[in-house]
């Protein structure tokens, strides 16, 4: 696939699926799928004869259109896109087109979860591993989809350092009635927690499925039970049963657990964001507890706490005083924790500042870039006997 201008890509109509945190009932990311009829070719052919679309080109088109469709709604939620393993295995040329297109759509790498799916052919294993390394190096969060049915070598899950793994939707649906499939899901969840990644269960349509999967330790979910097909970012979702209160397996959530096991996608904005822009974000997504202000290298510089920010800007003359000035004036230094820090150490660090004890912690990678946030309440719940 050649590198070319993406100007021919028009804004797309799309379907949006929220990724819901079952512990809090908040939306932590959005998965976007452009409608098929809205995906024009990147390189229109002058021939009147039908030309078979290149699968990699189609993959990239859909990913970029997903970013554009999401950007049109103005949502700050992290975006989850699906890309086939065969596409990323094609190497730097394809990844460059994808990266440039996502940037043109107004999305930065740390705001995107690239969920890789497909057959992972053994011959393409080195190319896929190199591509995943390149995506992480650029700052993208990496996920794997179709877990449980797709051919995904388990050691690739470890080498790929995934942010999340997405179960196969049929496995999600049938695990509630099939004991063997339930055992498979439980094993996959335990493995994911051990390697410090989240499990996302798609296709949840009944309360029994939701309760069962949460009981197995699944925290992130999608499906018609949580939001209808007409859902849009900023609209509420429904978590019909308080499943987070149910006793469930701990799967390694002990004093040896790392903060990476509790990391959720962060809502990030540039350092230049105004207080009014941050207010729009917080009003649009009621489940957002903080906004991380990052520099051009994706490093966290300030953290806007929802409660303190809203108190300041809603006070007497607050909006008039702050709205058009940098949001950093109402922010605090971020409380940074490396992704490898034990959860118990992070909890102790949070307790050192009595005035900010419940502020979100900002998780960073090896070179100081923002990977996400950890809510202190999650650490307290997981480490409580």
Say if residue 45's pLDDT is above 90.
no
The DSSP string of 153-204 is -HHHHHHT--SEEEE-HHHHHHTTT-HHHHHHHHHHHHHHHHTT-EEEE---
HSE toward the beta carbon, residue 203, CA cutoff 13 A? 13
For residue range 351-373, list pLDDT tens digits in order: 777 778 889 999 998 889 999 99
Contacting residues for 68 by C-beta, under 8 A, at least 6 apart: 9, 11, 12, 105
| Average pLDDT, integer, range 202-231 | 92
With contact defined as beta carbons under 8 Å apart, do 30 and 17 qualify? yes
Looking at residue 140, its pLDDT comes to 92
Looking at residue 47, its pLDDT comes to 40
Looking at residue 44, its pLDDT comes to 44
Mean pLDDT of the chain: 84
Residue range(s) in the chain whose domain bears CATH number 3.10.580.10: 262-383
336-338: strand order across its sheet:
336-338, 361-364, 370-374
For residue range 255-288, list pLDDT tens digits in order: 457 788 888 999 999 999 999 999 999 988 888 9
Beta bridge partners of 15: 33
What is the band of 337 on the pLDDT scale with cuts at 50, 70, 90? Answer: very high
For residue range 31-41, list pLDDT tens digits in order: 999 886 545 44
Higher-confidence position of 213 and 347: 213
Beta bridge partners of 142: 114
Which of these, 267, 315, 262, lies nearest to 289 by C-alpha position? Answer: 267
What is the band of 60 on the pLDDT scale with cuts at 50, 70, 90? Answer: very high
User: Long-range pairs for 99-106 at CB < 8 Å and ≥24 separation?
Assistant: 99/138, 100/3, 100/6, 101/6, 101/9, 101/60, 101/63, 101/64, 101/67, 102/63, 102/64, 102/67, 104/6, 104/64, 105/64, 105/67, 105/68, 105/70, 105/71, 106/67, 106/71
Say if residue 306's pLDDT is above 50.
yes
Q: What is the CATH number of domain 262-383?
A: 3.10.580.10
Say if residue 11's pLDDT is above 90.
no
| Average pLDDT, integer, range 16-37 | 88
Say if residue 87's pLDDT is above 70.
yes
Looking at residue 382, its pLDDT comes to 72
Beta strands in 235-323 (DSSP E): 268-270, 290-294, 300-305
Say if residue 195's pLDDT is above 70.
yes
Looking at residue 218, its pLDDT comes to 92
300-305: strand order across its sheet:
268-270, 290-294, 300-305
Q: What is the CATH number of domain 14-44+51-252?
A: 3.20.20.450
Which of these, 194, 204, 335, lies nearest to 260 by C-alpha position? Answer: 194
For residue range 111-147, list pLDDT tens digits in order: 899 999 887 777 888 898 899 999 988 889 999 998 8
Q: pTM, whole model, 2 decimals?
A: 0.80
Higher-confidence position of 353 and 10: 353
Looking at residue 5, its pLDDT comes to 40
Residue range(s) in the chain whose domain bears CATH number 3.20.20.450: 14-44+51-252
Q: Give, in order, the Cα–Cα distances in Å from 259 to each of 148, 164, 361, 370.
A: 25, 14, 9, 13
Beta strands 361-364 and 198-201: pairing type?
A: unpaired
């Amino acid at each position: 696939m050649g590198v070319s201008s993406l100007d021919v890509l028009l804004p797309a109509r799309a379907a949006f699926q929220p990724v819901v945190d079952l512990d809090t009932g908040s939306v932590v990311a959005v998965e976007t799928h452009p409608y098929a009829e809205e995906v024009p070719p990147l390189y229109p052919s002058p021939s009147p004869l039908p030309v078979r679309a290149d699968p990699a080109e189609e993959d990239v088109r859909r990913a970029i259109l997903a970013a554009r469709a999401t950007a049109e709604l103005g949502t700050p939620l992290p975006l989850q896109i699906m890309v086939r393993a065969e596409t990323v295995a094609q190497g730097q040329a394809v990844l460059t087109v994808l990266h440039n297109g996502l940037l043109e759509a107004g999305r930065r790498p740390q705001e995107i979860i690239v969920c890789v799916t497909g057959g992972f052919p053994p011959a393409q294993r080195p190319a896929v591993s190199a591509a995943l390394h390149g995506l992480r190096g650029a700052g993208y969060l990496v996920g794997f989809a179709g877990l449980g049915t797709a051919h995904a070598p388990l050691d690739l899950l470890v080498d790929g350092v995934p942010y999340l793994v997405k179960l196969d939707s049929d496995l999600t649906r049938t695990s509630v009635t099939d004991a063997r499939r339930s055992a498979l899901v439980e094993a996959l969840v335990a493995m994911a927690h051990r390697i410090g990644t989240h499990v996302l269960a798609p296709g949840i349509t009944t309360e029994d499925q939701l309760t069962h999967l949460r009981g197995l330790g699944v925290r992130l979910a999608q499906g018609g039970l949580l939001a209808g097909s007409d859902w849009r970012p900023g609209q509420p979702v429904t978590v019909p049963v308080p499943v987070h209160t149910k006793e469930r397996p701990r799967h390694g959530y002990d004093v040896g657990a790392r903060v990476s096991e509790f990391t959720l996608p962060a809502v990030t904005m540039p350092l230049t964001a105004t207080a009014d822009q941050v207010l729009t974000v917080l009003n649009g997504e009621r489940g957002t507890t903080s906004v991380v202000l990052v520099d051009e290298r994706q490093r966290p510089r300030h953290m806007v706490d929802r409660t303190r920010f809203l108190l300041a800007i809603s006070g007497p003359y607050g909006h008039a005083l702050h709205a058009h000035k940098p949001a950093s004036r109402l922010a605090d230094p971020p409380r940074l924790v490396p992704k490898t820090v034990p959860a118990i150490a992070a909890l102790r660090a949070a307790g050192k500042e009595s005035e900010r004890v419940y502020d979100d912690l900002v998780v960073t990678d090896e070179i100081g870039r923002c990977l996400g946030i950890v809510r202190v309440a999650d650490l307290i719940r997981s480490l409580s006997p």
